[in-house]
Structure 1
Amino acid sequence: MNTGKNNRNWGKALGLALTLSSVLFGTSCLDNFEGQPIPPSAFLSIYHASPDAPALDIYTEASRINNNPLEYSATFPYSPFYVGDRKLRFNPYNAANTLLETEFTLEQDKVYSMFLVNKAAELDAIKVEDIWEEPDSEQAQIRLAHLSPDTDDIEVIINENNFLFGEKNEYLEITDFEALDKGEIQVTLKSKESGETLLTVNDIEISGNKVYTLVVRGFSDPANGNNNLSLQLITNYIKF
């Protein structure tokens, strides 16, 4: 998890977040404060990692905040939320029943990610504070999120010998952000227990001036569902 070092670039991330929120969703989690001072806020993104859960509606208290359904492997982008104790509710798209209701606390000027995890029958949410060092033109910042519900401890190997995220990653582990040189990388997932190679993905492009989350998602066993084990590279932030 995060170490508590200062996130010196939260303001830039929030500027990007506002742009993404406006373009992709057309809504805000704050009321319309045009002509008025903007109240204290935090920023939160939500990633759908439950491989057998349906597309979702997201509610804060009584208000739905997404215009489009949140599909599996999609992200509701960083958006402003009132600070303090908040409640989120997740329903199947256009349905009245609730799959998950969760309460959490947001602090002013902080940036968070929430990951919806586990199978649909046991849907849960993990919230982490997003803290990274400023990327530069030669390096990115990247973290790992192990969100495959039927995959035990894994080794994540970059370019055959680089254990950037440590020698073992457990299910539901979200690592700290680490520096990684720009360029194409190969990522191999291995079972920590058996040493079996579970997945290899070549030619993943890493750019400088970006912050990423590398997500391990889906089912290792096809009998559990149609969304098979895979990797997804999510861009959290771009330094313009």
Structure 2
Amino acid sequence: MLWTRWIAGLVLVLGFALAQEGTAYVRFAHLVPDAPAVDILSGGNKVFEAQAFKDVTYYAEVPAGSLTLTVQTTGQNPAKVADVNIRVQAGKYYTVMALGTASTLKARLVEDRIAPAEGVAKVRVIHASPDAPAVDVALKEGPVLFRNLAFNQLSGYGTVPAGVYNLEVRPTGTRTVALPLEGVGFEGGKVYSVFAVGLLAGETLEVIVVEDSFASP
């Protein structure tokens, strides 16, 4: 199985001490369009279950320090995909992103800044479409808000006034609209990650907007 072959042995490491006291917060984003649904386990217990393409979980509380997440296919006869080793710091929030395609799989651990700003929204953009070029995200027929993001890159968090926006995803440096985004709403005092996902070749490009906040199901 290509998914298994390419993710096997994956190690994500942050430069923190091996053992720390306290709690960190981790979520999982399945951004691989042709990969199967998976379960995520820690210590033999399911942390996230049946995560399919475009699913972004809530944050789970985990012990700070070194942590092994086991990824396995979902179903009655699950197959182990990989053990993913991460190191996380107490009091911080992270997203483990599965990126690419089943044959060119990448994974990335990123820190999330979920502290809100009063009266405005905080927004970042993650380019997770493996065959799309570098892009700008702009107001419709207007200025660029996030510039020159290539696959597997993410912007910093920017602040925008609360409201509903018509946006455009454009190939970097052009005014050509690759993907129109009508009616995207951001509430004041909230934090968002905007994931550009899917495949250009398959004409399945789309955007998913996820609130970065600590909430359990």
Secondary structure of 1:237's match? coil
Seen in structure 2, the aligned counterparts of structure 1 residues 160 and 195 have a Cα distance that, compared at 3 Å, is: closer
Query: Which of 202, 206, 209 does residue 230 from structure 1 map onto?
Result: 206
Contact 1:218 1:228 in 2 (8 A): yes
Q: What are structure 2's unaligned runs of at least 5 residues?
A: 1-20
Contact 1:144 1:174 in 2 (8 A): yes
**In structure 1, what is the Cα distance between the partners aligned to 2:139 and 2:32?**
25
How many residue pairs were aligned? 193
Secondary structure of 1:120's match? coil
More strand by share: 2
Query: Which of 196, 200, 206 does residue 186 from structure 2 map onto?
Result: 206
| Structure 1 position 193, deviation (Å) | 7.1
- In the TM superposition, 1:59-98 aligns within 5 A as 59-66=41-48, 68-94=49-75, 95-98=77-80
* Counterpart position of 2:127: 146
Q: Which amino acid aligns with 1:88?
A: L
Q: Which deviations, in whole Å up to 9, do the C-alpha atoms of 1:118-147 show, x marking residues without a partner?
A: 11233332111112553223x100100100
Contact 1:47 1:74 in 2 (8 A): yes
Contact 1:47 1:76 in 2 (8 A): yes
Question: Is 1:126 paired with 2:102?
Answer: no
Q: What CA RMSD, in Å, does the superposition of the two structures yield over aligned residues?
A: 2.0
Query: Which of 166, 190, 194 does residue 170 from structure 2 map onto?
Result: 190
* Segment of structure 1 superposing worse, 79-88 or 120-129: 120-129
Q: Which amino acid aligns with 1:116?
A: A
Query: Which of 161, 169, 178 does residue 149 from structure 2 map onto?
Result: 169
Q: How many percent identity over aligned positions?
A: 20
**In structure 1, what is the Cα distance between the partners aligned to 2:213 and 2:155?**
17
Q: What are structure 1's unaligned runs of at least 5 residues?
A: 1-38
Q: Which amino acid aligns with 2:178?
A: L
* Counterpart position of 1:48: 30
Q: Give the alignment's TM-score, normalised by structure 2.
A: 0.81
More helix by share: 1
